[in-house]
Amino acid sequence: MPSPILLLAVFIAFALTNAYSYIKGGNAADTRWTAQIQTARANAEAQARATEQRHQEAVNAITRRHTAEISQVRRNLDLALDSLRSRPDRPAHLPEADRADCAGGTGAELSRPDAEFLSREAARADELRAGLRACYQHVDATLK
């Protein structure tokens, strides 16, 4: 009959080799799982960067168009204000008669301050309209 110490040594050797194989197999599975997760994360990151770049290019184009529109509006305002310099000032007092007798009441003869005010308001409205258009374009570009 084999000695109990020899049986114990064989049993311990068998247990250690099984434990080593189990740990090594678990490490390989963990390595495969980690590699799969890292690959998926890298793909998602690349896709997110491509989407971000596409959105940034769209925003840059929209910003350039908006800046050009605002510059055009401001140039038009400057031209309009220059053309209004020859208009007369607003009269100090309004006539006692009806509105039809009031010079500038029809808009054809607006005084310089009134015409400048209306020109500035029209330019401000054009700037707001250009800003709204840029916002719509930005939203449309990000939804694509």
pLDDT tens per residue, range 52-86: 999 999 999 999 999 999 999 999 999 999 988 88
Encoded tokens for 105: 């009441």
What pLDDT, on the 0 to 100 scale, is given for residue 107?
61
CA-to-CA distance for 76 and 111, rounded, in angstroms? Answer: 19
Indicate the SS3 state at residue 23: helix
Higher confidence at residue 29 or residue 78? 78
What is residue 13's predicted lDDT score, i.e. its pLDDT?
A: 85
pLDDT of residue 67: 96
The rounded distance, in Å, linking the Cα atoms of 125 and 131 is: 10
pLDDT reported for residue 104: 55
Question: For residue 74, what pLDDT is reported?
Answer: 96
